[in-house]
Chains A and B, each alone.
Chain A
Amino acid sequence: MIAAGQVQLQVSAADINTLLHRIPRGGIHFSQGQFQIEQPLPVGGTATCLALAYQQGQELHIAVPFDKIKGTGLGMFAGAMAKTFWGALSTRLQQAVDESLVRRGLPREAVTLTQTTLREGQKGGLIRISLFHLNLWLAKRALREKVIFQIESVAFTAENMRAGLRAHRLEPR
């Protein structure tokens, strides 16, 4: 493989929301560098949470701290809201992710959802997106596209999302 240059991709917050709002039953909005996710609960009512995305080595992490979850119309279930919320959200996300991954030929290990202690020490849900698996998938696609793009960095700021990609050619030219 031969080095073929670099690409910097930057997507504005407005354009991120244009794409997010096209997801059916999405309820996801990007603002000030964070995602706001709305999730109807099986017990009735709706909860919203904040999700913070950051790169951690070869993974993109989306952290959902439970202490930032807020709900309406939950009544006596407010105390168990966090667990209920994460259960409902992770189920919805897992179904959507599995369907999307399979359709595109990505392995299920590319996206995993767990409940854990986050890096700030609080309890929360964690969505882990494997850049390693994404890059493997991109490399396979290059067999017909002549250029392999590999994701090197992903970052979210208050204004936008930035990704750095490195390209390689398969054949000398």
Chain B
Amino acid sequence: MSTCATCGKELEEGSRFCGECGAAAPARAEEPALPAPAEERSTPTAPPPPYHGTRIELDKEMVNSLLALYSGLPEGCEPKLRDGRLQMSLGEHQLEVNPLRLSEAARLHWRTESMGPLEVSIDLVELHKAGLEVRMRLL
């Protein structure tokens, strides 16, 4: 609560003039600006650190080629990757899966003649606009 600089009377909150003597009330201190809404803030975010682990990346064309060759569905019905979504047409039915992600790590058991049995942890499978990414580790 501020007081009038001329007569000393207590001023009402927000008043611009003294109710006693009519003198102009002192200018209010600049209120701190409210922070901008989240979407307007331009806080730069650091890019994620590069991933150096084991991974396979298939570009979109590769994903669609493999789907066309190995889905077993007639031409025109095979699933296709478009804009990060897996889409399929079956007659009048249009299907779309989005997103396609592994919810938890999966274990792959892999046996080769030269290396014997290998256990692989599949840590990430993600379908996105550019294609498919699979991250894994040999155990």
- Which of B34-42, B63-71, B83-91, B98-106 has 4 or more CB atoms under 8 Å from chain A? B63-71
Asked if A5 contacts B138 (CB within 8 A), the reply is no
Asked if B58 contacts A5 (CB within 8 A), the reply is yes
Asked if A167 contacts B115 (CB within 8 A), the reply is no
Name the residue on B nearest A104 (C-beta): B114
Is A6 positioned at the interface, with any CB of B under 8 Å from its CB?
A: yes
Q: Give Cα A167–Cα B57 distance, bound, in whole angstroms.
A: 13
Instruction: Tell me the count of chain A residues lying within 8 A, CB to CB, of chain B.
Output: 24
Q: Give Cα A10–Cα B52 distance, bound, in whole angstroms.
A: 8
Asked if A173 contacts B69 (CB within 8 A), the reply is yes
Asked if A19 contacts B62 (CB within 8 A), the reply is no
Is B61 positioned at the interface, with any CB of A under 8 Å from its CB?
A: yes
Chain B interface, >50% SS class: mixed
User: How many A-B contacts at CB < 8 Å in the complex?
Assistant: 67
Asked if A7 contacts B57 (CB within 8 A), the reply is yes
Asked if B69 contacts A169 (CB within 8 A), the reply is yes
Chain A interface, >50% SS class: strand
Size category of the B interface is 20 to 34
Tell me which of A7, A15, A159 contacts B58 (CB under 8 A).
A7
Q: Give Cα A11–Cα B51 distance, bound, in whole angstroms.
A: 11
Asked if B56 contacts A7 (CB within 8 A), the reply is yes
A95–chain B nearest beta-carbon distance, Å? 15
Given contacts A22-B115, A173-B75, A15 and B65 within 8 Å (CB-CB): no
A37–chain B nearest beta-carbon distance, Å? 19
Extra contacts besides A6-B59, A14-B138, A147-B66 (4): CB < 8 Å: A10-B52, A159-B52, A160-B53, A173-B65
